[in-house]
Structure 1
Amino acid sequence: MHDFLRPVHRHGVLIAAMLGLHRFILSACAVLTVLAGSAALAQDTPSGLPVPRFVSLKVGVANGRAGPQQAHPILWRYVRAGLPMEVVMETPEWRRVRDPDGELTWMHNSLLSGRRSVYARAETPLRARPRDDSPEEAIAEAGAILWLERCRDGWCRLEAQGRRGWAQVGTLWGIYPEEGGPPVEAAGQPALSATAAHDTAPGL
C-alpha cells in the first residue's frame, strides 16, 4: 500500500507533530464555527447548502454515473475514500460532481461526506507554522489526500496519517479563492495518483 506522506528527519531524529488537547479543542471550535456559518446561509437548493461546494468521498468504492439515476451507466469508478469532489448541481438525492481531473459525473448523496479534504497536485511540504521559513513537519507526495482543517492568507492547516502542518494552497485542489488563495485548475492536470484514483468501469 503506497504511503503518500513522508515524515521529515532532522539530524536522524524523527520530527512528528503531537496534537495536544487544547489544540484539538481549538480545531473543533473552528470547524463548528464554519459549519454554523454555512447553516445560517440557507440556499435555494434541495439540500439547503451552497452550490458549488466541496465535499469528499465517504466510501472506498463509489460509482460516478452518466445521470441522476441508478439506471444510468457508470462512467467512472472511484476507489479512494476521502477524495475531494466539487458539487456543481444537485437533486434531492443526487449530486453532479467534478473530480480533481475535471471529470463530471452524478453520484448518490449517500456516497458523499461534508468533511473537507484536499488533493495534492505536487509534492507539498507541511510546515509547523504558515511561513516559508518554518520547519517542515512532513512532506505530502503528489497524489496525497489530506483532511482540511482551516485556511488563512494563502495557507491551509492539513492533517493526514496522524500528522498535521500548514501548506501553501498553490499545489492543492479542493479550496476556493476566498478560503485561502487561488484555485488549482482541474482540467489538463496529471493523473490523480500513481495508484489510479479512478478507473474506467467494466464494459465501457
Structure 2
Amino acid sequence: MQRIRVLLLTGLLTALCPAVLAQDADTPSGYPVPRYVSLKVSAAYGREGPSQDHRIIWRYVREGLPLRVTAEAPGWRRVEDPGGEVTWMHQSLLSGRRTVFIPEEAELRIRPDADANIEAVAEAGAILDLERCADGWCRLEAQGHHGWVRADVIWGILASDLGLDDAEAHSLAALSDPPPHDTADR
C-alpha cells in the first residue's frame, strides 16, 4: 500500500512539474525581461505594436545591433534600441547573440585595468560581440580583436552581467540611459 502511495505521488508530481515550470515563466518565451538580444538580419522593421497589422515606425539596417527586450507578446518582442526608440519586432528577426553598442570612441585594453596597454580602439557607433563582464569591465571582440572596456562606456549590458544588484546598477549610466545616437533609419 505504501508503495502505491509513493508511485501515485511521484506520478502526480511528474504530471504537475511542467505546469509549475510554466507558471515561473511569466513571458511567452520563458526568458526574463528585461534582457538583451541582437538583430539577426541586416534589415528589419520595427512596428508600433505586436503584429504585422501595426504601422512600421523604424527600419533597422544594422545586423548585430543590440536591443533591450522590455516586454513580450506571443511571437513578438517590444525592444528598445541604443538611441532609446521603442518598437515591436517579430521574434524571428532577433538572436540571442550578445552584442554591445559603443556610443563614443572606446579603448579596448589587454586587461581589465585603466593602465593596461591598448589592444584596439572601437569607433563611436561600433557594434562588438560581448564575451563576458567582471569587476566593472567587459571583454569584447570585433574582427579578431579582443579587449576589455569599462562597462560604463558601453550600451547593452545588464546589472546581472556585472554581478550587480539593481541598486548598484543605477550608478552606471550605460545600464539605465541610452546614448543619444541615431542607430536606425526612419
- TM bin, normalised by shorter chain, reads 0.7 to 0.9
Q: Could you tell me how far apart the structure 2 residues matched to 1:53 and 1:99 are? A: 12
- Aligned residue in 1 for 2:101: 119
Quick one: which amino acid aligns to residue 68 of structure 1?
Answer: P
Q: State the number of aligned residues.
A: 154
CA displacement at 1:183 relative to structure 2:
4.2
CA displacement at 1:191 relative to structure 2:
1.9
Whether contact under 8 Å (1:100, 1:119) holds in the other structure is yes
Query: Is 1:78 the equivalent of 2:46?
Result: no
- Aligned residue in 1 for 2:47: 65
Whether contact under 8 Å (1:87, 1:95) holds in the other structure is yes
Write out per-residue CA displacement over residues 119-138 of structure 1, whole angstroms, 9 at most, x where no aligned residue.
00111000111111111000
Q: Tell which structure's C-alpha radius of gyration is larger.
A: 2
- Aligned residue in 2 for 1:3: none
Quick one: which amino acid aligns to residue 86 of structure 1?
Answer: R
Q: Could you tell me how far apart the structure 1 residues matched to 2:118 and 2:55 are? A: 45
- Aligned residue in 1 for 2:180: 190
Q: Could you tell me how far apart the structure 1 residues matched to 2:177 and 2:127 are? A: 15
Question: Which aligned pairs between 1:91-102 and structure 2 lie closer than 5 A?
Answer: 91-102=73-84
Q: Could you tell me how far apart the structure 1 residues matched to 2:76 and 2:122 are? A: 32
- Aligned residue in 2 for 1:105: 87
**TM-score relative to the length of structure 1:** 0.72
Matched residue SS, 1:77: strand
**Which of residues 123, 138, 151 in structure 1 aligns to 2:120?**
138
CA displacement at 1:71 relative to structure 2:
1.5
Unaligned segments of structure 2, at least 5 residues: 1-23, 163-168
Looking at both structures, which has the greater relative contact order when contacts are Cα pairs under 8 Å and sequence separation is at least 6?
Answer: 1
Percent of residue pairs bearing the same amino acid type: 58
Whether contact under 8 Å (1:99, 1:186) holds in the other structure is no
Q: Could you tell me how far apart the structure 1 residues matched to 2:144 and 2:25 are? A: 35
Quick one: which amino acid aligns to residue 48 of structure 1?
Answer: G
Write out per-residue CA displacement over residues 61-117 of structure 1, whole angstroms, 9 at most, x where no aligned residue.
010001111121110000000000000111120000001111110000000000111
Write out per-residue CA displacement over residues 30-56 of structure 1, whole angstroms, 9 at most, x where no aligned residue.
xxxxxxxxxxxx532111100110000
The runs of at least 4 consecutive aligned structure 1 residues that moved more than 4 Å come to none
